[in-house]
Amino acid sequence: MTSTAAKQNPESWSTLFAAHLEAVKKRSAVALSATGYDALLVHAGTPPLLFQDDHHLPFKVQAPFKVWTPLTDAPDSFVYFVPGRKPLLLLHAPVDYWHKSPELPRTYWSDAFDIVSCPDRAAARGALPKDMARTAFIGEPFGELVSWGVGSINPEHLMAQLDYSRAAKTPYEVAALLEANVLGARGHAAAEKAFRAGGSEFDIGLAFMAACGLRERELPYNPIIALNEGGAVLHYQVQMREKPARFHSLLIDAGAEFAGYASDITRTHSFDNAEFAALIKRFDELQLKLCAQVRVGADWRDIHQSSYRAISEFLREADVISASADEAVDTALTSVFYPHGIGHLLGLQVHDVGGRQRDPAGGEIERPYNHPFLRLTRKLEDGCVVTVEPGFYFIDQLLAEARAKPIGQKINWARVEQLKPFGGIRIEDNVVARVGTHENLTRMAFSS
Ligand code: GLY
Ligand code: MN
Ligand code: MN
């Protein structure tokens, strides 16, 4: 936990965490009993070694572990849970003079666990019961796990129950997601400043991280920092050191992490072009209308279809297409410019689990025809946190394909050429579903 919020108000964080842990214990107990296990052993994960090297890849803790504890930097630790008992945290603390060993945590969440320091895996095994035949292990299996005698590794039905339950966030999780948005909004403000000062993509990335107070490996995903045409590459991974000859636009999709929870925020800026700035403003209004559709009971597929229609109208108004909005929807012309889903579940993972699951037992809810990239098809429950991220882009590959088809005749190619140097526009907020309403964590963070 890096933010000052937890330091400023440790009592409220410990109260929130205690209620969160009770909820996690309760749903885990229900899932264990429904699937015939007595105990859960969850691994934090371990970073792989590079080939022929003694360096590890950066450690990323596994989400099923961090739902129990915000311990994001203690690889090879375990949580062991038996319903009705205090959970046990086996903290991996190697006796090793090359590295700094983790210290026993003394913070807002640590009293909720019995904590045992383990120098190695053998010590962790020794701290667990001899008979683990009715224990379910969750995590990436490691070599000696076969000799531990666990009943099952990542059993499908248990995982389905636990994954499904992660969609609706506890008040602690929503508070952590708001903090992640506060950090992310700080990063975005600094990034915009670096852009206006004529920084390269690399400079803008450094400004983002410095303002968040996070190292690159502490970010929830690789930031997408795209100047000009780069904005048309959906997951643009380059950070150019060179500055472009001319600055047109910045599309930045970058989030921060707090207590293991991610923000996922996109903003688009015009450098000095008033017409592109007006398009961004109009797109921002469209995005806010979509955010307003987030509420308990909403079917995410309907919100996606609504975004598809709204972007179709936008493209017509912006004179990018000559087809009516109805025709653009019917012929999937809009997909040339908007080839992704309106958003996804957000939480411990940027693309959080269980988005297309039919119910706690498993199964799948179909995506709508013609929308193969939608990551969420469920109805929203109270506390579900989603991203709302409409976008449109001038993507060479999709434009070339469209030019060869009848729909190509409905594209205003001169307008496309005029707008191509700007790459595209995406605006992305993190939104909580509530009964009859929503909370926009990102807008709250930007105005705090
Ligand atoms: N940052 C990845 C996404 O928006 O889904
Ligand atoms: Mn994003
Ligand atoms: Mn996203």
The one-letter code for the residue type at 314 is: F
CA 326 to chain centroid: 33
400-430 tens-digit pLDDT: 999 999 999 999 999 999 999 999 999 999 9
Instruction: Quick: pLDDT tens for 71-115.
Output: 999 999 999 999 999 999 999 999 888 888 888 888 999 999 999
For residue 106, how far is its CA from the centre of ligand 3 (angstroms)? 34
Give me the count of residues in the chain.
448
Distance, first Cα to last Cα, the chain: 20
How would you list the strands of the sheet with 114-118, edge to edge?
A: 114-118, 88-92, 78-81, 39-43, 135-138, 152-153
In angstroms, what is the span from residue 266 Cα to ligand 1's centroid? Answer: 8
pLDDT at 439 over 80: yes
Counting atoms of ligand 1 from 1, which one is nearest the CA of 235? 2
Q: What is the pLDDT of residues 143-168, one digit of tens each?
A: 999 999 999 999 999 999 999 999 99
Of 115 and 371, more confident: 115
Q: How confident is the model at residue 9 (pLDDT cuts 50, 70, 90)?
A: low
CA of 273 to the centre of ligand 2 (A): 24
Which ligand is the nearest neighbour of the Cα of 268? 2
Domains, the chain, in order of start with CATH, read 4-165 (3.40.350.10), 171-447 (3.90.230.10)
Which of 304, 387, 425, 427 gets mutated to test ligand 1 (max ligand atoms within 8 A of its CB)? Answer: 387
Does the beta carbon of 389 sit less than 6 angstroms from any atom of ligand 1?
yes
For residue 103, the model assigns a pLDDT of 80
- Residue range 39-73, pLDDT digits in tens: 999 999 999 999 999 999 999 999 999 999 999 99
What is the token pair recorded at 443?
């807008």
Calculate how far, in angstroms, residue 351's C-alpha sits from the geometric centre of ligand 1.
8
Does 429 contact ligand 1 (Cβ within 6 A)? no
**Is pLDDT at 13 greater than 50 in this prediction?**
yes
Q: How far is the CA of 404 from the centre of ligand 3 (A)?
A: 31
* CA dihedral sign, ordered 391, 395, 401, 406: positive
Q: What is the position in ligand 1's atom list of the atom closest to the CA of 351?
A: 5
What's residue 2's pLDDT? 41
Q: How far is the CA of 346 from the centre of ligand 1 (A)?
A: 10
Mutate to test the pocket of ligand 1, among 224, 265, 385 (most ligand atoms within 8 A of CB): 224
Residue 339 near residue 318 (C-beta atoms within 8 A): no
**pLDDT tens-digit readout, 171-212:** 999 999 999 999 999 999 999 999 999 999 999 999 999 999
Closest protein CA for atom 3 of ligand 1: 264
Is the pLDDT confidence value at 5 over 70?
Answer: no
Pick from 384, 175, 412: nearest CA to 296: 384
The span from the CA of 35 to the CA of 160, in Å, is 10
Q: Is the CB of 352 under 6 A from ligand 1?
A: no
Mean pLDDT value across the chain:
96
Q: At 270, is the pLDDT very low, low, confident or very high (cuts 50, 70, 90)?
A: very high
C-alpha 389 to ligand 2 mean position (Å): 7
The pLDDT-based confidence of 10 (bands split at 50, 70, 90) is low
281: left (phi over 0), alpha (psi -120 to 50) or beta: alpha
pLDDT of residue 8: 56
Q: What contacts 196, CB < 8 A, 6 or more positions away?
A: 269, 271
Three-class secondary structure of residue 249 per DSSP: strand
DSSP-derived 3-state class of residue 437: strand
State pTM to two decimals: 0.96
